[in-house]
Amino acid sequence: LDAEFIKEVVPLHTKSGVRFLPAPQHLEEAEQITAEQYQTVLGALRDEFGTIVIDATHTINDILLTSLDMADSIIVVLTQDIPAIQNTRVLLDLLSSLKIPKEKITLVMNRYDKRISITSEKVGDSLKMPMEFSIPLDDKIVLTSVNRGLPFMLNPVNEPVVQQVQNLAMAISERLENK
């Protein structure tokens, strides 16, 4: 996989400047990808691009395990509901069993609504890890963005949801630079 081929098959989102590799359109295509093939592609992408973000599946499989193994940083995103918190506990236990250091893991509360009694602090205490970031609930901005196919990060910076995602990105970037 050479650089020219990668740039050819990894499209550029012109408004954001971000390249993305979409998931296969059909489930049967995804099932044909082996962990070894995935590792080769991920390695080539790492060589070509400074930062790679993987929006991983909730299913634990060889592809997810390969992603976790190759990751410099793991951002675990959860919401303020009991099933999400329980699933996060299962994932954290898996990461611990895989000997992935806690320093690589960042917990992020998404769609945080301060009106709900399940606070970031309580969840962090329950999971025995700090909730480092809380992205506020803002359906107006986020859903509009999703429906238009435009990243909400292109919106004005004074929106709390935009500021928190920027803070998260900066913190992860600084952490990776200081490795």
- Tell me: the pLDDT tens digits for 72-117? 999 999 999 999 999 999 999 999 999 999 999 999 999 999 999 9
What per-residue confidence (pLDDT) applies to 166?
92
**Alpha helix locations (H) across 71-159?**
82-97, 120-127, 139-148
Band of the pLDDT at 4, cuts 50, 70, 90? confident
Model pLDDT for residues 39-72, shown as the tens digit of each residue: 999 999 998 887 888 888 778 888 889 999 999 9
Percentage of the residues of the chain whose pLDDT score is greater than 70? 98
> How would you class 157 by CB atoms within 10 Å of its CB: exposed for 0-12, middle for 13-18, buried for 19 or more?
exposed
> How would you class 44 by CB atoms within 10 Å of its CB: exposed for 0-12, middle for 13-18, buried for 19 or more?
middle
What is the reported pTM? 0.87
pLDDT at position 28 over 80? yes
Determine the 3-state secondary structure of 81 from DSSP: coil
What per-residue confidence (pLDDT) applies to 137?
95
Q: Provide mean pLDDT across the span 145-166.
A: 86
What per-residue confidence (pLDDT) applies to 8?
84
Cα separations (Å) of 38 from 1, 24, 47, 48? Answer: 12, 13, 14, 15
Band of the pLDDT at 7, cuts 50, 70, 90? confident
